[in-house]
């Protein structure tokens, strides 16, 4: 009897959609919090891995591509950033403008990940807005 009830719940498509929506909302909220709690803490581009988008905490490798200098944490990331131009770019989370990671203003977040902005002003405005929203 109990088993039957559980199967009925699991196969209910509406119930499943509600659960999926909840999971998406929780994931979005969690990523929002990792931004919201962060101070604007600058990190030198030579101290980040621009492929993993993290502060690796170990010496990085300098990669020169088209007169721009990128930094990565390992040979694997070096091969990837050389091969895939998309890895060299990202979007400013505030202005949504496409920016080159080699020229970005980089902020270190509490969880070891990093965020790229087109300028310090953009980063400060972004985090100030996040704080106000809480």
Binding site for Zn ion (CB under 5 A): 49, 51-52, 72-74, 77
**Residue 73 or 99 having the CB closest to Zn ion:** 73
**Residue 43 or 52 having the CB closest to Zn ion:** 52
Residue with smallest beta-carbon separation from Zn ion: 77
CB 43 within 8 A of CB 114: yes
CA dihedral 33, 34, 35, 39 (to 10 degrees): 110
Q: How far is the CB of 110 from Zn ion (least distance, A)?
A: 20
CB 127 within 8 A of CB 39: yes
Q: How far is the CB of 95 from Zn ion (least distance, A)?
A: 26
Q: How many beta carbons lie within 10 A of that of residue 80, not counting itself?
A: 15
Q: How far is the CB of 77 from Zn ion (least distance, A)?
A: 3
Could you report how far apart the first and last alpha carbons of the chain are, in Å? 46
**Residue 36 or 74 having the CB closest to Zn ion:** 74
Task: Kindly state the tokens that stand for 4.
Answer: 């039957």
Q: How far is the CB of 9 from Zn ion (least distance, A)?
A: 43
**Residue 70 or 127 having the CB closest to Zn ion:** 70
CB 107 within 8 A of CB 124: no
């Amino acid at each position: 009897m109990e088993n039957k009830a559980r199967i009925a719940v699991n196969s209910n498509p509406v119930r499943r959609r509600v659960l999926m929506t909840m999971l998406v909302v929780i994931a979005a909220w969690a990523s929002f919090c990792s931004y919201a709690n962060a101070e604007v803490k600058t990190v030198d581009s030579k101290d980040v891995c621009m492929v993993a988008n993290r502060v690796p905490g170990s010496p990085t490798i300098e990669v020169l591509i088209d007169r721009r200098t990128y930094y990565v944490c390992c040979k694997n990331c070096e091969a990837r950033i050389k091969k895939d131009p998309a890895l060299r770019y990202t979007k400013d989370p505030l202005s949504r403008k496409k920016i080159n990671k080699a020229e970005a203003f980089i902020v270190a977040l509490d969880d070891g990940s990093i965020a790229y902005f087109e300028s310090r002003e953009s980063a400060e405005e972004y985090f100030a807005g996040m704080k106000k929203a809480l």
